[in-house]
Amino acid sequence: MSAPPPALDLTAIRADFPVLCQRVHDRPLVYLDNAATSQTPSAVIDTLRTYYETYNANIHRGLHVLSERATAEYEAARRRVAGFVNAAHAHEVIFTRGTTEAVNLVARSWGDAHVNAGDDILLTELEHHSNLVPWQMLAKRRGATLRYVPISPEGRIDLEAYARMFGPRTRLVAVTHMSNVLGVITPAARIVQIARANGVPVLLDAAQSVPHLAVDVQALDADFVAFSGHKVLGPTGIGALYAKEAWLEAMDPLFGGGSMIRTVELHESSWAGLPEKFEGGTPNIAGAIGLGAAVDYVQNVGIDAVTAHEDALTERALAMLSDLDGVRVLGPQDTTDRGGVISFTVDGVHPHDVGTLLDADGIAVRAGHHCAQPLMRKLGVAATVRASLYLYNSPHEVDALAEGVARAKAFFDEH
């Protein structure tokens, strides 16, 4: 067994996040909405500032010093992101606006070429709308059918049912790697193995996993992996699609325009090589470079140490919340194959009211359907309160959450 990862130096880490050092409603901010978006360390803010202050320029075209530097930093960021998820080649990482754009890119560029009338696509009942609606749109365009792998009451994928769902017309499996509602971590490697045995490619929605656990795209052997920069300490408006080189080589681009062509004639064009073929137009240069700095930051802390820290906080939160009368935590009740996304309901109190009362205490959570309406229906709830953790959260903040929820419950019991 390898040695456990070192404990995080929370004081030092928190000092790296200027936004955390503020008061909200005259209380210290307790930021527990990391599944929606994460906060930005000074290293990333400084990287963006340096870009705009010293070498803001368009890439892959200028002959001048600024453009050459911007191009070099942009491509270095691609290598950093590729290294972070252990892609075999940097050009297997396509910068996108985020997970949503990455999934849509595959649904269009890959889906339109491979999915036909009568085919089916396997999804699960756990999916975020971003890994559901693009497939509905594809199915409508092509006359295909979506089929959903069932889940257990705590949100575990039924692997036996999954294995039985493959047929001769199954073209793709698209599945989340970590639920943004229940924190369930899906058995991605096993999911891919079973799909591979059936000759079917797999897209992993890694929006919630890449920020919080080691994701090795080669070990997982996934064909497509989508994630967002803003959930992994990076800027908004930047994310990535990892795809195996052979797929990217074979796929047509989604966006036509500058930078993605080799030659353009009046009536036809030929495409540039990878990765430019999929990055038509001026990309989010600053965002990509900022994302490179963000994954560097996470790597310096150590992703296994981040996971261990969040596991400890999750255990504490599960124990404290389950101890409260009338509070029901959804999803797995321990940290086995579970991340720090904790959805719960409070008897007799609407989740939005819990969220509003917590906000008055300076505690930021999300309440609602979390862009997973089919999952909500499956769980038999209209909405939940959701607290989601990251590397800068402290045990003290988990305590503040539990106290805040207890206060909210008591307030509604009295009124």
* 205 is a contact residue toward ligand 7TS (CB under 6 A): yes
Annotation marks residue 371 as catalytic: yes
In the complex, the smallest distance separating the C-beta of residue 122 from ligand 7TS, rounded to whole angstroms, is 17
Smaller CB separation from ligand 7TS, 130 or 170: 130
Q: Is residue 100 a contact residue for ligand 7TS (CB under 6 A)?
A: yes
Of the residues 80, 142, 370, 409, which one makes contact with ligand 7TS according to CB under 6 A: 370
Q: For 29-45, b where at least 16 C-beta lie within 10 A, e where not — what string?
A: bbbbbbbeebbbbeebb
**For ligand 7TS, which is the closer residue by CB, 71 or 99?**
99
- Give, as ranges, the residues between 303 and 332 that touch ligand 7TS (CB under 6 A): none
| Binding positions for ligand 7TS, 4-33, rule CB under 6 A | none
- The CB-of-344 to ligand 7TS minimum distance in angstroms stands at 15
With CB under 6 A as the contact rule, the residue among 32, 35, 44, 387 that binds ligand 7TS is 35
Residue 403 corresponds to which tokens in the numbers above?
A: 């106290």
**Residue from 33, 313, 341 nearest 178 by CA:** 341
Looking at 371, 375, 391, 400, which residue is catalytic?
Answer: 371
How many angstroms from the chain centroid is the CA of residue 261? Answer: 30
Q: How far is the CB of 379 from ligand 7TS (least distance, A)?
A: 15
List, in sequence order, every residue forming a beta bridge with 336; answer none if it has no partner. none
Query: Which listed residue (98, 155, 183, 355) binds ligand 7TS by CB under 6 A?
Result: 98
Contact residue for ligand 7TS among 124, 170, 208, 314 (CB under 6 A): 208
Contact with ligand 7TS (CB under 6 A) among 38, 47, 109, 228: 228
Which residue's CB is nearer to ligand 7TS, number 274 or number 371?
A: 371
In terms of Cα–Cα distance, which of 364, 316, 370 is closest to 343?
A: 370
Scanning residues 349 to 368, which ones bind ligand 7TS (CB under 6 A)?
366
Q: Which of residues 167-186 bind ligand 7TS (CB under 6 A)?
A: 176, 180
Q: What DSSP line would sit under 104-153, residue for residue? A: HHIIIIIHHHH--TT-EEEEETT--GGGTHHHHHHHHHHT-EEEEE-B-T
- Cβ atoms within 10 Å, residue 26: 7
Is residue 38 a contact residue for ligand 7TS (CB under 6 A)?
no
Q: Which is nearer to ligand 7TS, 185 or 293 (CB)?
A: 185
Contact 297, 392 (CB under 8 A): no
How crowded is the C-beta side of 175, counted as CA atoms within 13 Å? 31
For residues 241 and 92, is the Cβ–Cβ distance under 8 A?
no
Contacts from 276-280 at CB under 8 Å and sequence distance 24+?
Answer: 276/60, 277/248, 277/253, 278/94, 278/105, 278/109, 278/241, 278/248, 278/251, 278/253, 278/254, 279/94, 279/95, 279/255, 280/253, 280/254, 280/255, 280/256
Kindly tell me which of 8 and 173 has the beta carbon lying closer to ligand 7TS.
173
Nearest residue (CB) to ligand 7TS, 121 versus 272:
121
Total of residues contacting ligand 7TS (CB under 6 A): 17
Cα distance between residue 376 and residue 354, in whole Å? 18
Distances (CA, A) of 292 to 49, 140, 233: 14, 37, 10
- The Cα–Cα gap between 344 and 314 comes to 13
Please select the residue that binds ligand 7TS; options are 40, 131, 170, 314, rule is CB under 6 A.
Answer: 131
Nearer of residues 105 and 408 to ligand 7TS, judged by Cβ: 105
* Per-residue binder mask for ligand 7TS (CB under 6 A), 135-174, x = binder: ----------------------------------------
Q: Which two tokens stand for residue 207?
A: 């929006």
Where along the sequence are the contacts to ligand 7TS (CB under 6 A)? 35-36, 98-100, 128, 130-131, 176, 180, 205, 207-208, 228, 366, 370-371
Catalytic residues: 371
